[in-house]
Amino acid sequence: MDNEDLIKLKVLGITRSEVQPGAYALLLENDDSTPEEARRIPIVVGAAEAQAIAINLEQVVPSRPLTHDLFVSMFHVFGIELQRVVIYSFKDGVFAAIMQVTNGTTMVDIDSRTSDAIAIALRTGSPIYTTSEVMQLTGYEWRRDGNYKPQKPVRLEDLPVEKLERRLQHYVDKEEYEKAARVQKIIAQKTNSTRGEE
């Protein structure tokens, strides 16, 4: 996954969801935000997932380890380190994430529910990232003056060929061949257009 396409995030907190009764909204924000403006992503999570995250944010120590605490303990025992969490996709209203873990010699991507990955990342102090595409699709611009604006959707046709080639490789790696074919077609159109201007 190309690091240039990743945006580092921080967890702001959890609030009750205004969209789904009984659910909660996990609010993430770009790490390089300022007190005056930021780009934020709300992720709807269930009550149990919200509790697992809130317990860590509020530094509450449960009497017995929760599931995510157990995972972290196993990581430590077997010398596994969570390098980072990447929220890489948003499809049909669902976010998808991977946990990139290493044992010091081998790095692997583990598919995960986004809420679980974030709960574990908070416990290990591991960074959380998303892609610019996910940010464009799901984020909104927050401003202290009260002006809330959704991000303008990014058009593939507006991206430079270099970025399109990285996105093509990403889709191929994820076996998302329909998206890869669309990107490949746009690259071909841009390349032919450039040659025609020479």
Condensed to tens digits (0 to 9), the pLDDT of residues 146-188 reads 665 555 555 677 777 777 777 777 777 777 777 778 888 888 8
Q: How confident is the model at residue 35 (pLDDT cuts 50, 70, 90)?
A: confident
The residue among 87 and 193 whose pLDDT is bigger is 87
| pTM for this model (two decimals) | 0.70
Q: ∠ CA(93), CA(99), CA(100), 5° rounding?
A: 140
Task: Tell me what pLDDT residue 198 has.
Answer: 47
164 contacts 155 by C-beta, under 8 angstroms: no
Contact assessment for residue 8 and residue 132, using Cβ atoms and an 8 Å cutoff = no
Tokens 């017995």 correspond to what residue? 64
The values of phi and psi at residue 39, to 5°, are -110, 125
For 186, half-sphere exposure in the C-beta direction (CA atoms, 13 angstrom radius) is: 19
**Which of the residue ranges 61-65, 90-94, 117-121, 135-139 would you say has the lowest mean pLDDT?**
61-65
Instruction: Determine the length of the chain.
Output: 198
Q: What is the mean pLDDT of residues 95-116?
A: 95
Its CATH architecture, for the domain 3-154, is: Roll (3.10)
Q: Are 166 and 4 a contacting pair, CB within 8 Å?
A: yes
Question: Is residue 110 a contact partner of residue 45, using CB atoms and an 8 Å limit?
Answer: no
The yes-or-no verdict on residue 26 having pLDDT over 50 is: yes
CA dihedral 152, 156, 157, 161 (to 10 degrees): 130
Q: How far is CA 97 from the centre of its chain?
A: 6
